[in-house]
A and B are shown apart, each in its own frame.
Chain A
Amino acid sequence: MSTASDHTNLSRPVKWSWLFTMAWRDSRRNRSRLFLFISSIVLGIAALVAIYSFGYNLRADIDSQAATLVGADLVISGNRAPDKQIQPLLDSLGDSRSQERNFASMVYFTKSNDTRLVQIKALQGEYPYYGSIETTPLQASTDFRKGKYALVDAALMQQYKASINDSLKIGKLTFKIAGILNQAPGQTGLAAGVAPVVYIPMQYLDSTGLLGNGSRISYNYYYKFNGKTDVDKLADGLDDRLDKNSLHYETIQTRKDNTGRAFSDLNRFLSLVGFIALLLGCIGVASATQIYVREKVASIAILRCLGVKASEAFLIFLIQIAGIGLIGSVIGAFLGAAVQLVLPVVFKDFLPFEITTTISWVAVGQGIILGIIVSVLFALLPLISIRNISPLNTLRSAFENATTQRDPFRWLVYLLILGFVVGFSYLQLQSWQASAAFTAALFVAFLLLTLTALLLMRVIKLVMKASWSYLVRQGFANLYRPNNQTVILMVSIGLSTAFICLLIFIQALLIKQVTLSTSGNQPNMILFDIQTDQEKGVLNITKSFKMPVLQQVPIISIKLESVNGKTAASLPKDSTADKMRRAYGYEYRVTYRNFLTSSEKISEGKWIGEAKEGEDVPVSVDERLARRLKLKLNDKLVFNVQGTPMNTYVASFRKVNWNKVQTNFQVVFPNGALEQAPQTHVLLTHVPSSGVSAKYQQAVVKGYPNISIVDLGLVLTILDQILDKISYVIKFMSGFSIATGIIVLIASVRISKYQRIKESVLLRTLGGSRKQILVITALEYLFLGALSALTGIVIAIAGSWLLAKYSFEIPFQVSYAPAGILFGLTVALTITIGLLNSRGVLNRPPLEVLRSDT
């Protein structure tokens, strides 16, 4: 070690090799303690890496699923034949190309002698490149391309009692039905369901004679790109040229954006989980580091006595911590990767779909770097105070806090930690705004927990009475006496509970959203052009099929004649009034009812459901329309109801959620005004299967041939599968994160093992019974566990409310039962681990414990 002469030479140069040796030597002192410390880092980082890798893999899985919605990387479509100047482009894009002509036509079922409107899709090439056209028999989806064969929609087959090998006349040609079409990628919009689909090979299209002058054909070009072409960027660059030729494009990304919120919800959720994983990792590592360094104070004081400079002591332990952090993170990272690889294999039978298990090196790298940074950063806080440990500390009780609170370096460290959290959450969330918000929320949570802890200490100190039993006093006193662990455990237990609880809440909210949008609860059949005198009949048919009437609305087409006495004629003739002119020219489709639907909310004014005879009719206007027309409450609107003027006034504005699959209206009339006006009715229902769909359509069309039926069953199946997977991924990821969260929680309580051991031994030596020590410990942990779990849950409720409202924009609801269970579980876990921590002391004679290295 140092020589006597060194002792006085305080400006000696730093000997790095010696520092490293010291760091190593010190670590040998107590390997069991070191192991506990490392294990906490390992678990924290393992949790992070496993969650990250699952996140990356599942995201990739869902993305490849999304590709099956479109079936190709890029689709270019238009409704007229492309002209010569754009044709070379269409013929040169991508690595594989397919094309499709698409149009409505009446086909003739030879056997049943029926004619029916279908949507012909004439296909050429290998399309779809992702997913498949699913047929019965299976090989029909490829075989039909080779000859005069057709694939026919399942419900259509049943409706006309057609079977495979029957013939179908399309235009002048007769095709043989090669297979039943069960599912196909491509359009998922409602447009796709207007007529049932029949696939034919494109090479026969010309000879059907359907392509004559005036025919209305859609042209679709499908492209697949090998390698890593940025298709979205490419397509965006082509947009102007395509637009000039009345063509438009679609990529997997644009489809995802248009498919609804499930994809973006999933993305946000995975980001959230990633962020939480990061914090779980931090808690695991940080709480371990904090406690570890605190315990080193005594040895540092001794070193200082022997002449080690403050800066040298600082460096010795910094090196040690960095080393431990590195080892722990590497082990943790590989443990996490292993869990991610093994878990899906082990649970293969329980998983509804295959999870890709590839090691995500990004996740592993992130885990290791994160582990080192976090351990060093969080070690810095107590290490800074090392510089102020005077040699005298050896002689006095080492428990006194040596820190001078106004150490400027402290603030630097806080700043570093803050910067680190913002930076790493940016990596997860890819948005500075979001990561700032998350960091702020985290800071508030941290502050809240710390304040609760300080408050608890203060209150307990104040209310503590000498009259209480010794055990109770001792247990409570542990919470505020020197060397207490209240703040650190409150923060780590509280934050872990908060994250777990947050995941539970958000998961429940999202799953509810996703299940709502799966077709089981959504209309998949729409009947329209139902005339008023046919309404009852259609209802009866629907009921006789035991199908639900999800919505049934009258629709009336009206025009706006004047607003506050101003008509279109009073508008200035220049282009400034174009918007208003259009508002007058537009045919408004309105409805009347005396209730609001679940997708609308009154934002201003009062909803009135009944019109009064002889008075102006109170109507409710959609907010967006109101803004466009610059309407105010009580404005007088005169509508032209098919030639009859109707005086109305704006009674309320409605906020309408246009994203829901249901009928929504810009203007809603109350009952008692439009009942006599000419109207048609729309009915939304849900058919359970293609078989029922076929019979139902037959029954309706037989009675009311004018009614048009849109069957979205085929279109929705693919979407349903994806939604199912998304909801599964959300459940899986939250379940897994919750499990790892609990492990991290256990680890962070577990590292407090050595905090209480000396006291327990002393108590034992002084004659304390096992039971007494148990009660004291249990009381301390009970209080810690209960209060931090409660605070954590409160934080989670606030956090999930904020997330639901601002990030996911979904209705918020607290699920109390799981929160209650989580509370009980956290308290029980905290007490159990606390008791387990002192088990060593209790089961062995005090002397043995005293002698062994504590």
Chain B
Amino acid sequence: MQLLKIKTFLLAGFMSLVACQNANNTQTESSAGQTAAKDSTSKPTKTVLFFGDSLTAGYGLDDPATDAYPSVIQKKITQEGFPYKVVNAGNSGETSAGGRSRIDWVLKQKVDVFVLELGANDGLRGIPVATTASNLQSIIDKVKAKYPNAKLIMAGMQIPPSMGVSYAKQFRDMFPKLAVKNDMLLIPFLLEGVGGNAKLNQADGIHPTAEGAKIVAGNVWSILKGVL
């Protein structure tokens, strides 16, 4: 229990992913609709894998299987008729180091689109940005090595300014840098429009509600639908 308490706290204390005034460069790719064959019988043959922490896992939601943002994405995919199946590989409280250890296990299944959503817990624990960056790089390397044809998406993250301005900036800049370096698509800020808004977050103030998760899904969808 004590440990679970710690864990929960760390989730609560460290998972504060909050919006800042961020230039809203929505890179809306408008190539989607066309491929959307209305054939509802076509079976999903390809996989979108969300690899992340509690935000992906849907921590604290009543029914993560329908409310977490990857589940919302699945619904959209089905609606639009894309032949993709969503796999939620979110693990609450996970850091980039944990992700690096876990990735091999997760990559046992075939991946066509890989969404990387990790690092928030590192940022809230004050782990040096260089460490986090190198862990994320290892994860990307492993995905590329195993599935060279997979499309990679990086979910950008920010930490609250109370963590200190220079650290917060270094942290925020890490994601675009990694995305560019590895030729990945970038979701500029996963929690855009949700972070910092009390109504869209759970009582802990950091994990999105079901309503918030829909907005998060929207942020992801605007990038994701381009690669499907």
- Interface-side segment among A92-100, A146-154, A529-537, A811-819: A529-537
A116 to B127, CA, bound (A): 9
Is A191 an interface position by the 8 A CB rule? yes
Listed residue (A103, A116, A214, A662) with the most chain B CB atoms within 10 angstroms of its CB = A214
Q: For B205, what are the chain A residues with a Cβ–Cβ distance below 8 Å? A: 79-80, 216
Are A104 and B126 touching (Cβ within 8 A)?
A: yes
Residues of A in contact with B (beta carbons under 8 Å apart):
79-80, 103-108, 115-117, 170-172, 189-191, 194-195, 209-217, 246, 526, 528-529, 531-533, 557, 568, 578, 581-582, 584-585, 587, 589, 642-644, 658-664, 676-680, 682, 705-706, 708, 710
Near A by CB (< 8 A), chain B positions 70-101 give 87, 89, 91-98, 100-101
> Which range contains the number of B residues in contact with the other chain?
35 or more
Listed residue (B2, B92, B161) with the most chain A CB atoms within 10 angstroms of its CB = B2
Which of A172, A587, A664 contacts B1, CB < 8 Å? A664
A85 to B179, CA, bound (A): 46
Q: For A664, what are the chain B residues with a Cβ–Cβ distance below 8 Å? A: 1-4
A210 to B61, CA, bound (A): 30
Closest residue of A by beta carbon distance from B54: A587
Given contacts A585-B64, A677-B105, contact A104 B3 (CB under 8 A): no
Residues of B in contact with A (beta carbons under 8 Å apart):
1-7, 9-10, 13-14, 16, 18-21, 57-59, 61-65, 87, 89, 91-98, 100-102, 104-106, 108-109, 122, 124-128, 131, 135, 158, 160-167, 195-196, 198, 203-206
Are B3 and A215 touching (Cβ within 8 A)?
A: no
Q: For B59, what are the chain A residues with a Cβ–Cβ distance below 8 Å? A: 587
A214 to B197, CA, bound (A): 9
B13 to chain A, nearest CB (A): 6
Are B97 and A217 touching (Cβ within 8 A)?
A: no
Are B97 and A216 touching (Cβ within 8 A)?
A: no
A116 to B125, CA, bound (A): 10
A69 to B95, CA, bound (A): 33
Are A210 and B62 touching (Cβ within 8 A)?
A: no
Are B106 and A117 touching (Cβ within 8 A)?
A: no
Are A531 and B97 touching (Cβ within 8 A)?
A: yes
List the 6 closest pairs (A to B, CB-CB), nearest first.
Answer: A117-B126, A678-B102, A706-B97, A214-B18, A215-B162, A658-B1
Listed residue (A80, A589, A705) with the most chain B CB atoms within 10 angstroms of its CB = A705
Are B100 and A531 touching (Cβ within 8 A)?
A: yes
A195 to B163, CA, bound (A): 12
Are B131 and A663 touching (Cβ within 8 A)?
A: no
Are A190 and B6 touching (Cβ within 8 A)?
A: yes
Are B13 and A213 touching (Cβ within 8 A)?
A: no
Are B62 and A581 touching (Cβ within 8 A)?
A: yes
A209 to B91, CA, bound (A): 33
Are A191 and B1 touching (Cβ within 8 A)?
A: no
Q: For A705, what are the chain B residues with a Cβ–Cβ distance below 8 Å? A: 127-128, 131
B134 to chain A, nearest CB (A): 10
Which of B2, B87, B161, B165 contacts A643, CB < 8 Å? B87
B1 to chain A, nearest CB (A): 4
Are A642 and B101 touching (Cβ within 8 A)?
A: no
Are A216 and B160 touching (Cβ within 8 A)?
A: yes
A460 to B195, CA, bound (A): 88
- A190-B5, A213-B196 known; 15 new pairs, CB 8 Å cut-off, are A104-B162, A106-B164, A107-B164, A190-B2, A195-B126, A531-B98, A557-B92, A568-B65, A581-B62, A581-B63, A589-B4, A642-B102, A643-B106, A659-B1, A662-B3
Listed residue (A170, A211, A529) with the most chain B CB atoms within 10 angstroms of its CB = A529
Are A216 and B195 touching (Cβ within 8 A)?
A: no
Given contacts A529-B95, A587-B92, A664-B1, contact A116 B161 (CB under 8 A): no
Are B98 and A680 touching (Cβ within 8 A)?
A: yes
Are A663 and B2 touching (Cβ within 8 A)?
A: yes
A578 to B59, CA, bound (A): 16
Are A194 and B13 touching (Cβ within 8 A)?
A: yes
Q: 23 A-B contacts, Cβ less than 8 Å apart?
A: A79-B204, A106-B164, A189-B9, A191-B13, A195-B126, A210-B164, A211-B161, A212-B20, A212-B160, A213-B196, A214-B19, A214-B20, A528-B10, A529-B98, A557-B94, A589-B4, A642-B91, A658-B2, A662-B2, A664-B1, A664-B4, A678-B104, A706-B127
Which of B7, B10, B160 contacts A214, CB < 8 Å? B160
A663 to B109, CA, bound (A): 32
A107 to B164, CA, bound (A): 7
A532 to B87, CA, bound (A): 25
A296 to B89, CA, bound (A): 91
Q: For B20, what are the chain A residues with a Cβ–Cβ distance below 8 Å? A: 212-214
A379 to chain B, nearest CB (A): 56
Q: For B14, what are the chain A residues with a Cβ–Cβ distance below 8 Å? A: 104
A215 to B163, CA, bound (A): 8
A79 to B131, CA, bound (A): 29
Q: For A660, what are the chain B residues with a Cβ–Cβ distance below 8 Å? A: 2
Which of B13, B165, B196 contacts A209, CB < 8 Å? B165
Q: For B128, what are the chain A residues with a Cβ–Cβ distance below 8 Å? A: 115, 705
A214 to B162, CA, bound (A): 8
Are A171 and B165 touching (Cβ within 8 A)?
A: yes
B103 to chain A, nearest CB (A): 8
A680 to B65, CA, bound (A): 24
Closest residue of A by beta carbon distance from B162: A215
Q: For B89, what are the chain A residues with a Cβ–Cβ distance below 8 Å? A: 642-643
Are A584 and B65 touching (Cβ within 8 A)?
A: yes
Are B162 and A217 touching (Cβ within 8 A)?
A: yes
Are B87 and A589 touching (Cβ within 8 A)?
A: no
A589 to B1, CA, bound (A): 11
A637 to chain B, nearest CB (A): 17
Are B9 and A190 touching (Cβ within 8 A)?
A: yes
A532 to B7, CA, bound (A): 18
A189 to B1, CA, bound (A): 12
Are B125 and A585 touching (Cβ within 8 A)?
A: no
Q: For B65, what are the chain A residues with a Cβ–Cβ distance below 8 Å? A: 568, 584-585
Q: For A209, what are the chain B residues with a Cβ–Cβ distance below 8 Å? A: 161, 165
Q: For B97, what are the chain A residues with a Cβ–Cβ distance below 8 Å? A: 529, 531, 706
A440 to chain B, nearest CB (A): 36
A171 to B204, CA, bound (A): 24
A593 to chain B, nearest CB (A): 14
Are A104 and B124 touching (Cβ within 8 A)?
A: yes
Closest residue of B by beta carbon distance from A170: B164
Closest residue of A by beta carbon distance from B98: A680
A246 to B205, CA, bound (A): 10
A80 to B206, CA, bound (A): 11
Which of A80, A108, A212, A642 contacts B161, CB < 8 Å? A212
